[in-house]
Amino acid sequence: MSIRCAGAEDVEALAGLATQNLLARLAEGPAAAGDHHLVARIGNIAAGLLVSRPNVQQPEVQDLVSLMVTPLFRRRGIGRALLRQLSADMAQAGRKALGAVWSDRLPQLESFHAVLMREGWETPTPWRLRMSFRVGDRVEAMQLAARRIAAAREAGLSSLTLAAAGAEAIPRLLAHAQAVQAAGRLPAWADPAPWLPIGTPAVSQLLVDGHGTIRGWLMAQYQTASGRWLAPIGWCETGPSHMLLAMDAWLAALEETQGPGATVVLHPTLNDGAKVCRLLDRHFRPHALWADHLITSRKAL
């Protein structure tokens, strides 16, 4: 067995181990900065493929995106050999850790967990609840949240898009977020600053009180590769249930600008967003196109 970096010359041989998106990327030539893809070969056969790239928010962490071994050569240590090579290559490149996120619906889930553990990764832990919906199907689901939405309005809150809030909305939002964070009331994960450059102002929401003071936000991001909309962060200082008011307005704005067929994915964390997860799981899961939990693990280098 030999292991080397995967390139354009491997595209045809990797057809059974990679998605069309990855094959197209390999066919373009040299990998993007920081991408590191490995192919394991036995003779002329591509027996395994590992795909990795730098973490968007933590460039010192290399994310394992995919690890595939052709069925004929499974249970021969090829996956572990690819992981060991990735560890060696990334340590040499100066990365501090490896990371991975995957679905609990992954085929052969327990086998994958066992491979990671044998290679020194942390115990896999549940990380996010993830649900997908068509925005046009939201009405019945949001009726279940009507009481909480009414309570948010009774508390004096309203929700409007960043675009509708005017040219000063983004500077105001950044200044308010900095002030709340400095006061110790805003968790680091809820900082809107990293998401504003890649967000969509016509859908992203601001929660404001009766005095016009910003009290929360819900960002909107379009994922071009998967053709779906994401709410990467949402936070409200008056309570997580009040986020349902912003969600209702977020979905309405999405339908208005993108049409009822637009697909949205919600993925709150199971730690910081535990209350939101319980709300979604209890009331919204029956209306979802699909739902799963994301699992995560890391390995220090």
Lowest mean pLDDT among 178-192, 216-230, 263-277: 263-277
What is the rounded average pLDDT of the residues 22-33? Answer: 71
Q: pLDDT tens across 42-76, in order?
A: 988 899 999 999 997 788 999 999 999 998 898 89
User: What's the pLDDT score for residue 14?
Assistant: 83
Structure tokens at 191: 């900082």
| pLDDT over 70, % of the chain | 98
Q: What is the mean pLDDT of residues 85-89?
A: 97
Distance CA 100, CA 124 (A): 9
Give the model's pLDDT for residue 113: 96
Residues 207-219 pLDDT 10s: 999 999 999 999 9
Q: Check residue 41 and give its pLDDT.
A: 92
247-260 average pLDDT score = 93
DSSP assignments along 184-201, one per residue: T-S-GGG--TTTGGGS-T
**Region 81-92: what's the mean pLDDT?**
97
